[in-house]
Amino acid sequence: MKSFVLAMTLVLSASAHAFTATEAVSNLIPSGTYAGKNGAEKCTVNVTISTDAVTIAIQDKNNKSDYFSLLNSYANYHVDAVTGEISATQKLSFPRYLQGGSKILNVRGNDKNQVEFFISQILLDHRGNDASTYAACTVSL
């Protein structure tokens, strides 16, 4: 019985300290447009934080962009309580790809006063062909 009470206490305390998506991103970086780098290439990140949602757009040097919108009410995201890293997944609806495909967002701070952004779109067809895309950008604060 004691272990059950302890487990429930840990669950309740963890949920009491859980961050919403907007709080988590605000703790890492404020809204704005930031110039950054992906390796040696230049890129731009646009962060838009509203009351109940966050949108992150990454644009590379060729003006190719990818974005991810995350609602506070969205169930498929996680915020690491220690590092503040945000991870989210979104199911896509492309009928020619396995399970419709998926999109993944990761945002994390590093020890160099930078924020790293990653957006991946995974698209595999029934024949094993890969049409996946990946966007990344690291910005300095």
Per domain, the residue ranges of the chain are 32-140
pTM exceeds 0.95, yes or no? no
Residue 120's closest CA among 138, 103, 100? 103
Query: For the chain, what's the residue count?
Result: 141
Backbone angles phi, psi at 23, to 5 degrees: -65, -45
CATH architecture of the domain with residue range 32-140: Beta Barrel (2.40)
Report d(CA 99, CA 80) in Å as an integer: 27
CB 70 within 8 A of CB 84: no
Report d(CA 126, CA 130) in Å as an integer: 10
* Confidence (pLDDT) at 55: 96
- Averaged over successive runs of 10 residues, the pLDDT of the chain (141 residues) comes to 41 52 94 96 96 95 90 90 92 80 94 95 85 93 88
* Confidence (pLDDT) at 9: 39
Longest alpha-carbon distance in the chain: 61
Angle at 29 between CA 117 and CA 19, to 5 degrees: 90
* Confidence (pLDDT) at 38: 94
